[in-house]
Structure formats: structure tokens, C-alpha cells
């Protein structure tokens, strides 16, 4: 818990657990004690009380708090989500403890994805840090703030592998690579759950969305997923498995179908794989309304059928629908669902409540009455220094012609663009209980950085989009995007007037946060036309042009790459994003982020990901040949490859050294490179190890990330980085779905991105 050191004494004191009076007495948090307790409790429960435990209800217009409180009294609710303040939560728990028969505490959950009150960069941005300490900071602080608000569980992390930037939810995951996603997912689970989710400032995680939601066809949300078992087990499942092995107490079931079977109806997935093969003991939760949706999927004929299928498939808790409560009693009576099946589901719910420590103290995450914060949005509840530090690490420098960056803190700077001063957009989607007003925009960050040393002029220059349909879409549930009263031309003219008076133009452009969200798929991944026109006009002034991108997915940026003198990818960087971006723009922080997804040149290249299989006719740009695998109307490969990101200094790599030329099956081999900071500034970079199986019984990827190390080197400093390699890094699922390692030659590739590597080769005996 390194980050705690940075907090003042008062904040440190706030970490002391405050125990409310225990209701059920002390129950040791061991599996044996839990099993005995839950078995005993199950015996005392009526069928209705059991079914009540399976209902997870969302507070909202359909279910106002008052109505829910009545249901709680009758034992009809197992858990609550979307309520995030201690007084509200306390009232609901009071209802259980004072008025229900068995006093089985509720648990409280929320989508704490990249922060609760302090908002950190979106998960795709966090992944760009390639820094597990940063993940730990985000996980610890998010859990602390969530638990301090009375919550017990979060719907995170999302470890869906994402290889299609049309899908808006790529913003919520760690990107296209299995290894990076697994490492980060594990770090997040460990950080949020700590030693035990029962501890005062920890929360239980719920890894999502099981399984393969990231592979929806065409990147269209909720669409079909169809994939080979090999790809599923090799690339898509390890992220969930690693998070579960790290102890995640929950699993959220995906909305999509997988090979024809909706995940919510998939007993192979939820029982055979998850429970029997992987030994998962926690709880499975349907996604929002997913049980009802089995009818629309066309696998259930009516509500009863949907409920029968879901519970028998292994969906323990139903999120946000009343189907379990309504139909399970009749289904049990008719014998279509056995009481044993219900008991099994309830046991899992009670197990996680036990693990959350709720049977020891139902108020454990609330503290005593009267201790609630007077102002839930108080500035003192935020963790700004940590948010700024993580945000700086998430920024990726894509281009820097003739050292345009860092900028000088002098002269006149024109800050232009619809995202330059948008507080709401800084936070990104799924910003939990974050308050937009508390976030620092790029404009504010730049002003804070230069003080009175430089003149800063601001012009919006364009609307995020001039498309009325898209504006309405973005403003459907909140007033997220404001539309300027000026005509587009007038906005550009005003921006040009500012640009012409300046020494440099910083254009903050891209997507508004609602464009990269659930149900926000795009068929076109360019910057919207209103902003492209602005960029064209700014370019024409001849002033140095720095493009600061804000977006939640890889964008197609071929023209912008040519126009920009420098380009910085900032994603949606959170509460302290503006200050963090200014730190990089002015060189107070040397950028070190690396892309966790390939950036295609155009939507037509999708799917595009670095670890694709080999083909029989690979394209070779040095010897182009018509009958090879490529598009004839576009350059081959991505615009920016996976793992790519520049620095203000220069890192050089030695050739790869291997400790041996052969590897025994029970042995280890070391691959090393020497990295030198041969530039003038101190800085961090990420050294990446990729492997390639030259010949195997099935076609294997051209390269696969197997390890990485983030290192910091002072100017002129040198460090040797060593990666141990053993057979675990070489295993794969073969054609008969056996997890094997085959002898033969392997390429070892080490680089600072996936495209430019130093290579060597060894033989597995």
C-alpha cells in the first residue's frame, strides 16, 4: 500500500477500521467455517427467502428507494446497486437488520471501473502505462473510496480482449493482448480485494464479461461472437482465469452469445469450464436484464423458460430484472427447476456475503451512525496527486517532429478545440460518483502550468460533431455535449484569429466520452468532420501544430499524423487529466506510455492486431508481390503498432543475448538486452519480450507478448534487462484442444514496441 505514504496524517487515521456493533457475532473467515455457517443458514430459509437472495436490484426510476425498502423487509432482495452514499445504504441495511426475519445482510455494488470519486484514466489509458504499480494505485484508491461510500462490490475489472476499435467498450478494457490484460486484471483484483474483501477499505471484484464479449462481430455492441475453441482458450479466456485465480469473488456473465449459445444460457461455460475445470467458488451474476433477453436471443420461449434456462445454466444472481422472483417459485413447484439448483445459487450468494464479512458486521463498510461525511463530494475525499501521477503515465506520445514538444512556458499559446475545456469529457464514461466540476481540463492544466509566463488564448473552434443525430444520441441520458450557437465557419474563424497571434497551436480534438461507451459502436473511427475542418484550417496557418487527442478507442489518423508536428494520445485521463497533460506538454514529465491496441489506418483494416497468425502468403514490403496477403489500396500494417510510444529521450537497445541456445523442458533460459538512455533527458520506457514458435502442429502467431519491464533511466544511464523464459511461455492449445508445448525453434524478439525488435533464436529440446 505504497500510495498511503503520500497521504497526510488525517487521511491515514481515516484508514483505521471502525467496527459497528456486530449483529451475528464473530465468524472466522475460513472456507470451513463459511461452509458450515451457510449450510446451517440455508436450512433455516424458506423457498421465498432463498429466491429473494438471488435478486440484485438497481435503484432508479423503475425501482425507487422507498419501494425497494419494502421489498427488503420481506426478504425479497439479495443485493443492491446504483446507490452510492452511506445514508442511503445504511437505511437499506437497517431495514434488513430491524425488520426482516433472518437478517441476512444486503451487499452493495457499483460500477467502480476507473475510480469512484477520484477519477483515473479510462482502463484503456491505464493499460497504456504498462505499469502494474499504477494499476495497484488505481485499484487501492478506487476500493478505498468505494468502501468509504459503503460499497462492498464493484463490477470490474473488464478483461475482455478487444481487437475491434469500432466497439465502444474497448475503452473499458486493457486492450488487444492476452498477456497484458491478464497481468493488469490480476493486479486490479489484488489491489481492490486486498487480503480480504471483508477489510474495511477493500471491495470484492466481479470480473467481466464472461466470456469473449470483446469479440462481438463487426464491433457492434451486443452482437454475436463466434470463435474457434483454440482462439477462445488461447486468447480470450486467460484474462478471466487469471483474475479468478487472483481471487475475484464475482463473475459477471456476458450479454453476447458464444458459438450460438447466449452466455446467460451456457451451462458449459458457467458450470463445466468455470466451476468444474477452474474450481470457481464465488458468485455469477447476470448482466443487466440478460435473463429477459434470452427470449429475444431466441433460446427461450417465454419468461418461465428464460428463468429455467438461466438458473440451470449456472447464473446465480439476476441483475435488474424481476424474473427470478416472479417465476422461480412456480418452476420449483412444477419440478422444472430443482430446489437443489436454487440452493446451489443461494449458497454462492451467501458465500460471498460471508467473505465480505457481512455476517460479522453488516455495517462494516459504513462505520457507526453519525460518522457519514457531511459532504460526499468534499475535495478532501479526493486523491489528486495519485490521479495526476497515473494520468501522466497513461499518455502516449505518437509523434514529435523536430522536437516540437516539450513546449516552452513563454510566448503565446493558442489552445483550440471542443475538448480543450470540457470537464465532463476529461472523466470518460463509467465515471462512477466522479463530479465533472472537480476535473481539470487541458486548458486549465496549461494555464496552471504557465502561470503568467505565457499568454494562453482559448477558442472552441468546432463542436465535437455537427451531426444533429449524433448530438442527440450523445445527449440522450445526460447533457453531455454542448452545441455552440455560432456557425461552424464563425467558430473556425475565431479559432484562426487566435492561432494567428500565437507561437504554437495546441488542438484538443477527438471523441466526446459518450462516443466510447457501452452501446456506442462506430462504423467510422475517424475524428468527426467538424473537427477535421478545424484541423485543416489550423494547419493552413503554418503555425506549429500540436494535436492532443482525447478518445476512448484507436482512431484512424493517417491525415492527422501528417498534419501534426506533435501528437499526444491522452484517452480520457480523469480528474487530474489536464494537469497531467500539461506536465507532458511542457516537459515536466517525460512521456512513457505505450499503446495497448494497434491503431489502424482505416476502418477497412479491422480486425488488425499484432499477434495474428501467419499465412501461407505473407506480405513482404521489401519484396512486394501481388499474390500476398494485403490490401492493394492501403499501406500494410497499422499506423501505430501495439506497444508503440515515443519519449523525449532516446533509448537504444543492444542485440539480444541468450544464456543458452537450447532450452530443456524443465529448464529456464535468460534473454537479455542492454538498454541505454542515449538522449538528454531522464525517462522511463517499457522493454517488451515477444516469442514466436517457428514450426508447430498448428499455425502460431507471428509474435506474442510474454513479458515486459518498465524501466527508468537517467540520461546516459544503461541497464541490462533480463527475461527468464521457460516452457510455460511456449504452451498453446493444439488442434485436439490439448495444452501442449512442442519442441523446435523459437524466435525471441525484444523491443520497445511490437514492430521493431532485436531478435535471436533458441531450440526447445
Cell of 70: 419494502
Q: Does 601 bind ligand BGC (CB under 6 A)?
A: no
Pick the closer one to ligand BGC by CB: 287 or 703.
287
Point out the catalytic residue in the list 131, 164, 199, 287: 287
* Residue 161 C-beta: closest distance to ligand BGC, Å: 15
Pick the closer one to ligand BGC by CB: 288 or 601.
288
Q: Does 114 bind ligand BGC (CB under 6 A)?
A: no
Between CA 647 and CA 355 the distance in angstroms is 45
* Cis previous bond, 607, omega within 30: yes
Pick the closer one to ligand BGC by CB: 210 or 644.
210
* Residue 579 C-beta: closest distance to ligand BGC, Å: 29
Q: Does 208 bind ligand BGC (CB under 6 A)?
A: yes
Pick the closer one to ligand BGC by CB: 519 or 613.
519
Instruction: With CA atoms as reference, report the closest residue to 708 among 563, 592, 619, 536.
Output: 592
What residues pair up with 413 in beta bridges, in sequence order? 456, 504
* Residue 170 C-beta: closest distance to ligand BGC, Å: 13
Between CA 612 and CA 626 the distance in angstroms is 21
Residue 120 to residues 387, 429, 518, 585: CA-CA distances in angstroms? 6, 11, 18, 19
What residues pair up with 281 in beta bridges, in sequence order? none
Number of residues that bind ligand BGC (CB under 6 A): 6
Pick the closer one to ligand BGC by CB: 177 or 287.
287
Sheet harboring 683-693: ordered strands across?
662-663, 757-764, 744-751, 683-693, 704-713
Contacts to ligand BGC from residues 154-183, by CB under 6 A: 155
Q: Does 323 bind ligand BGC (CB under 6 A)?
A: no
Between CA 242 and CA 233 the distance in angstroms is 12
Q: Are 514 and 552 in contact (CB under 8 A)?
A: no
* Sign of the alpha-carbon dihedral angle for 127, 131, 132, 135: negative
Contacts to ligand BGC from residues 130-159, by CB under 6 A: 155
* Residue 319 C-beta: closest distance to ligand BGC, Å: 7
Q: Does 111 bind ligand BGC (CB under 6 A)?
A: yes
Q: Does 288 bind ligand BGC (CB under 6 A)?
A: yes
Q: Does 518 bind ligand BGC (CB under 6 A)?
A: yes
- Based on the residue annotation, tell me whether 343 is a catalytic residue of this protein: no
Q: What is the DSSP string of 427-491?
A: H-S--TT--GGGSPPHHHHHHHHHTTSSEEEEE--S-S---HHHHHHHTSSS------SS-HHHH
* Residue 208 C-beta: closest distance to ligand BGC, Å: 6
Between CA 61 and CA 55 the distance in angstroms is 17
* Residue 173 C-beta: closest distance to ligand BGC, Å: 11
Pick the closer one to ligand BGC by CB: 59 or 440.
59
Between CA 119 and CA 469 the distance in angstroms is 29
* Residue 210 C-beta: closest distance to ligand BGC, Å: 11
* Residue 430 C-beta: closest distance to ligand BGC, Å: 8
The SS3 assignment for 27 reads coil
Pick the closer one to ligand BGC by CB: 293 or 389.
293
Between CA 572 and CA 519 the distance in angstroms is 18
Pick the closer one to ligand BGC by CB: 111 or 149.
111
Q: Does 292 bind ligand BGC (CB under 6 A)?
A: no
Q: How far apart are the first and last CA of the chain?
A: 43
Q: Does 210 bind ligand BGC (CB under 6 A)?
A: no
What residues pair up with 158 in beta bridges, in sequence order? 208
Figure out which of the listed residues 164, 287, 321, 511 binds ligand BGC, where binding follows CB under 6 A: 287
Between CA 647 and CA 396 the distance in angstroms is 9
Residue nearest ligand BGC, CB atom distance: 155
Q: Which residues are catalytic?
A: 287
List residues binding ligand BGC (CB under 6 A): 111, 155, 208, 287-288, 518
Amino acid at each position: 500500500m505504497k500510495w498511503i505514504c503520500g497521504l497526510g496524517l488525517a487521511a491515514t487515521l481515516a484508514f483505521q477500521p471502525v467496527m459497528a456493533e456486530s449483529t451475528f457475532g464473530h465468524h472466522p473467515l475460513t472456507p470451513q467455517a463459511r461452509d458450515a455457517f451457510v449450510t446451517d443458514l440455508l436450512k433455516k430459509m424458506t423457498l421465498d427467502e432463498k429466491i429473494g437472495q438471488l435478486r440484485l436490484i438497481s435503484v432508479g426510476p423503475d425501482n425507487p428507494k422507498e419501494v425497494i425498502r419494502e421489498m427488503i423487509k420481506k426478504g425479497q432482495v439479495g443485493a443492491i446497486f446504483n446507490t452510492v452514499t452511506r445514508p442511503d445504504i445504511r437505511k437499506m441495511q437497517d431495514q434488513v437488520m430491524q425488520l426482516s426475519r433472518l437478517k441476512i445482510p444486503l451487499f452493495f455494488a457499483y460500477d467502480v471501473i476507473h475510480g469512484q470519486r477520484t477519477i483515473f484514466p479510462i482502463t484503456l489509458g491505464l493499460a497504456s502505462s504498462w505499469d502494474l504499480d499504477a494499476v495497484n494505485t488505481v485499484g487501492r484508491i478506487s476500493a478505498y473510496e468505494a468502501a468509504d461510500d459503503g460499497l462492498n462490490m464493484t463490477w470490474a475489472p473488464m478483461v475482455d480482449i478487444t481487437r475491434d476499435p469500432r466497439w465502444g467498450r474497448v475503452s473499458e478494457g486493457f486492450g488487444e493482448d492476452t498477456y497484458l490484460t491478464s497481468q493488469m486484471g490480476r493486479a486490479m483484483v489484488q489491489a481492490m480485494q486486498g487480503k480480504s474483501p471483508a477489510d474495511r477499505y477493500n471491495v470484492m471484484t466481479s470480473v467481466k464479461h464472461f466470456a469473449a464479449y470483446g469479440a462481438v462481430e463487426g464491433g457492434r455492441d451486443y452482437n454475436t461472437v463466434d470463435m474457434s475453441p483454440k482462439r477462445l482458450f488461447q486468447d480470450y479466456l486467460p484474462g478471466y482465469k487469471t483474475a479468478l485465480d487472483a481471487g475475484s469473488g464475482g463473475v459477471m456473465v456476458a450479454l453476447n452469445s458464444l458459438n450460438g449459445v447466449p452466455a446467460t444460457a451456457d451451462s458449459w461455460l458457467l458450470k463445466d469450464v468455470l466451476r468444474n475445470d477452474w474450481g470457481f467458488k464465488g458468485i455469477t451474476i447476470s448482466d443487466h436484464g440478460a435473463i429477459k433477453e434470452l427470449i429475444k436471443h431466441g433460446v427461450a420461449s417465454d419468461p418461465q423458460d428464460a428463468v429455467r434456462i438461466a438458473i440451470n445454466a449456472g447464473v446465480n444472481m439476476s441483475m435488474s430484472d424481476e424474473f427470478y422472483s416472479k417465476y422461480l417459485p412456480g418452476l420449483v413447484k412444477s419440478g422444472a427447476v430443482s430446489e437443489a439448483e436454487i440452493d446451489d445459487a443461494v449458497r454462492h450468494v451467501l458465500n460471498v456475503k460471508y467473505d465480505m464479512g457481512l455476517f460479522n458486521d453488516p455495517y462494516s463498510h459504513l462505520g457507526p451512525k453519525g460518522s457519514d461525511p457531511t459532504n460526499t463530494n468534499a475535495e478532501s475525499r479526493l486523491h489528486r496527486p495519485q490521479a495526476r501521477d497515473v494520468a501522466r503515465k497513461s499518455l502516449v506520445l505518437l509523434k514529435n517532429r523536430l522536437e516540437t514538444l516539450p513546449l516552452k512556458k513563454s510566448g503565446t499559446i493558442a489552445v483550440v478545440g471542443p475538448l480543450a475545456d470540457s470537464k465532463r469529457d476529461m472523466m470518460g464514461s463509467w465515471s462512477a460518483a466522479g463530479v465533472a466540476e472537480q476535473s481539470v481540463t487541458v486548458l486549465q492544466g496549461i494555464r496552471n502550468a504557465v502561470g503568467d509566463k505565457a499568454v494562453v488564448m482559448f477558442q472552441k473552434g468546432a463542436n465535437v460533431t455537427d451531426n444533429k443525430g449524433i448530438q442527440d444520441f450523445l445527449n440522450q441520458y445526460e447533457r453531455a455535449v454542448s452545441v455552440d450557437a455560432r456557425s461552424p465557419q464563425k467558430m473556425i474563424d475565431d479559432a484562426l484569429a487566435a492561432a494567428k497571434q500565437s507561437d504554437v497551436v495546441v488542438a484538443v480534438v477527438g471523441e466526446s466520452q459518450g462516443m466510447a461507451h457501452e452501446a456506442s459502436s462506430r462504423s467510422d473511427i475517424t475524428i468527426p468532420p467538424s473537427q477535421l475542418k478545424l484541423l485543416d484550417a489550423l494547419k493552413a496557418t503554418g503555425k506549429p501544430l500540436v494535436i492532443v487527442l482525447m478518445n476512448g478507442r484507436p482512431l484512424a489518423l493517417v491525415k492527422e499524423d501528417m498534419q501534426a508536428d506533435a501528437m499526444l494520445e491522452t484517452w480520457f485521463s480523469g480528474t487530474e487529466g489536464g494537469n497531467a497533460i500539461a506536465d507532458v506538454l511542457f516537459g515536466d514529465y517525460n512521456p512513457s506510455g505505450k499503446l495497448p491496441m494497434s491503431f489502424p489506418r482505416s476502418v477497412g483494416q479491422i480486425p488488425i492486431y499484432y499477434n495474428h497468425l501467419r499465412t501461407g502468403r505473407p506480405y513482404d514490403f521489401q519484396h512486394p508481390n501481388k499474390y500476398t496477403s494485403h490490401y492493394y489500396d492501403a499501406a500494410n500494417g497499422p499506423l501505430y503498432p501495439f506497444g508503440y510510444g515515443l519519449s523525449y529521450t532516446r533509448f537504444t537497445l543492444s542485440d539480444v543475448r541468450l544464456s543458452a541456445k537450447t532450452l530443456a523442458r524443465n529448464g529456464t533460459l535468460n534473454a537479455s538486452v542492454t538498454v541505454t538512455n542515449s538522449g538528454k533527458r531522464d525517462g522511463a520506457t517499457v522493454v517488451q519480450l515477444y516469442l514466436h514458435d517457428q514450426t508447430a502442429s498448428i499455425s502460431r502467431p507471428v509474435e506474442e507478448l510474454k513479458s515486459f519491464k518498465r524501466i527508468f533511466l537517467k540520461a546516459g544511464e544503461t541497464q541490462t534487462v533480463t527475461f527468464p523464459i521457460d516452457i510455460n511461455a511456449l504452451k498453446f492449445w493444439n488442434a485436439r484442444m490439448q495444452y501442449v508445448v512442442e519442441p523446435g525453434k523459437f524466435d525471441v524478439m525484444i523491443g520497445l514496441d511490437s514492430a521493431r525488435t532485436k531478435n535471436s533464436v533458441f531450440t526447445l529440446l
